[in-house]
Structure 1
Amino acid sequence: MKFKNVKLAIGASLLALSLVACGGSGNNAKGGNDQAANNTQNTANASKGAEAGDLDKLGQIAVITREDGSGTRGAFTEITGLLEKNGDQEVDNTTASASVQNSTNGVMTTVAGNPSAIGYISLGSLNETVKALTLEGVEATPANILSGEYKLARPFLLVTKGEPKEGSLEADFMKFVLSKDGQAIAEEEGYVKNEQAEDYTPGNVSGEITVAGSTSVTPLMEKLVEAYKKVNSGANIQIQSNGSSAGITAAAEGTAQIGMSSRDLKDEEKDKVQGTVLAQDGIAVIVNKDNPAEDITMEQIKNIFKGDMTAWGDLAK
């Protein structure tokens, strides 16, 4: 079975998103840039006024990050500029003082329990226990990810060692999750679906497969597996939530039939496995619900997570 049409369709969508995010050209780009600058300035002015005193009361910023190997951390550090080239090496400049959490729930629980904390999670996992900041005046929503206005966005990938064998449970499950039925679930869970998804016809296959990887993709995968079993009761699908890098390795080694990744494949990984976009996701920058901050810039995110900005009062300056 081939997924090339799906990949090409999504690739075209990603290219369009990239062009929108870059601002296009000519007067339209200038107008968009001017509007974005105005939004950022207006929000900054509001922060300097009403929020400055309250932010000072929060004291030192408690930085919460994910563990090495997390797809969310990989995407976050790359997009924000925390990941920098040093010769042939890539260096993650996240501050050594950051508290490391090994799951999305761990980040949310820590931020929810600490008024001075800041972290980042998959947009689809966002709930009412924490508050998501707007990014340069733009809210983290599926619509803003699709338009390219929200800059902290990345793909969710299904990782396989070559093309799934036609007629296999692995192939049929991937058909389902990439179909209109599967993509409707992705959209319902807060992700950006593939608009070119096709109808699904049950393959009536049975057997057992393992899907392993990203803790960010896991909540969506659990919903997809639950729905798939309703149309294919003979399927036994085990989910292992152990991080993007572990999932990619498992797919390459054959200990899992499908890996889950919340980041793009690295060049050295592309020689061993292939990735198919399941959906698009945003990364929400989260703070405690009692934190008066509402907006943050990409530069401020980098400075905070690098350790160059250490006090909440600095955010309003």
Structure 2
Amino acid sequence: DQKITLIHRAKSSGSRATISDVVLKGAAFTDDAVIQDSNGAVRAAIASTPGSIGYVDAPYADDSVKILKFDGVEYSPQNIIDGKYPIYGYGHMYTKGEPTGAVKAFIDYILSDEFQNSQVEKLGFIPVSKMKK
């Protein structure tokens, strides 16, 4: 029984694009909202604003906010891997032309089993090798 305050990301945010596609099915966001520039700022605003709702990337969801179910399914990495929880996005890297030199070496390392299996989960994300193709 209180006013709902929507807190979300700027129009250029990939998280916002994912929510627009998956949750809103392409419908426009309202401009009657508090806009924050980062996941951490969104989380802090939600945690400190009674009656607020918003979204953050999974690694930013902590005990300061309540994680809601989507269509009756709770968030978990396993539910994403199993295709039960549809709200997720892939990280992207872009280069002008085919990458070479240090840029190629960096991308190759990020995609390597070494990095994917040792660092990605520590950072709160899901290794691409665990996602269904």
Question: Which of 178, 186, 195 is residue 129 of structure 2 equivalent to?
Answer: 195
Deviation at 1:82, TM superposition (A): 5.2
Aligned residue number for residue 95 of structure 2: 160
Specify the code of the residue in structure 2 equivalent to 1:79: V
Deviation at 1:142, TM superposition (A): 1.1
Deviation at 1:119, TM superposition (A): 0.5
Aligned residue number for residue 112 of structure 2: 179
Q: Within the alignment, does 1:134 sit opposite 2:69 as a pair? A: yes
CA contact (8 A) 1:107 1:121 kept: yes
Specify the code of the residue in structure 2 equivalent to 1:171: K
CA contact (8 A) 1:67 1:102 kept: yes
Q: Sequence identity of aligned pairs in percent?
A: 30
CA contact (8 A) 1:66 1:103 kept: yes
Question: Which of 35, 52, 74 is residue 17 of structure 2 equivalent to?
Answer: 74
Question: 3-state DSSP class of the match of 2:6?
Answer: strand
Mapped to 2, the partners of 1:70 and 1:151 lie a distance apart of: 18
Question: 3-state DSSP class of the match of 1:83?
Answer: coil
Mapped to 2, the partners of 1:80 and 1:135 lie a distance apart of: 9
Higher relative contact order (CA 8 A, sep 6+): 1
Deviation at 1:73, TM superposition (A): 0.7
CA contact (8 A) 2:8 2:42 kept: yes
Mapped to 1, the partners of 2:22 and 2:68 lie a distance apart of: 16
CA contact (8 A) 1:82 1:94 kept: no
Mapped to 1, the partners of 2:24 and 2:68 lie a distance apart of: 19
Query: Which structure 1 segments of 5+ residues have no match?
Result: 1-55, 85-92, 197-278, 281-317
Question: Which of 68, 93, 111 is residue 46 of structure 2 equivalent to?
Answer: 111
Q: For residues 116-152 of structure 1, what are the alpha-carbon distances to aligned partners after superposition, in whole Å with 9 as ceiling and x for unaligned? A: 1101011122222212111122121111111110011
Mapped to 2, the partners of 1:130 and 1:136 lie a distance apart of: 19
CA contact (8 A) 1:142 1:190 kept: no
Deviation at 1:156, TM superposition (A): 1.0
Mapped to 1, the partners of 2:102 and 2:110 lie a distance apart of: 12
Query: Which structure 2 segments of 5+ residues have no match?
Result: none
Deviation at 1:170, TM superposition (A): 0.9
Question: 3-state DSSP class of the match of 2:22?
Answer: helix
Question: 3-state DSSP class of the match of 1:149?
Answer: coil
Question: 3-state DSSP class of the match of 2:29?
Answer: coil
Specify the code of the residue in structure 1 equivalent to 2:30: T
Mapped to 2, the partners of 1:79 and 1:160 lie a distance apart of: 27
* Number of matched pairs: 131
Q: How does 1:266-285 map to 2 (within 5 A)?
A: none
Supply the RMSD in Å over aligned alpha carbons: 1.9
CA contact (8 A) 1:104 1:125 kept: yes
Aligned residue number for residue 215 of structure 1: none
Which stretch of the first structure deviates more once superposed, 184-193 or 110-119?
Answer: 184-193
Normalization by structure 2: what TM-score? 0.88
More helix by share: 1
CA contact (8 A) 2:7 2:33 kept: yes
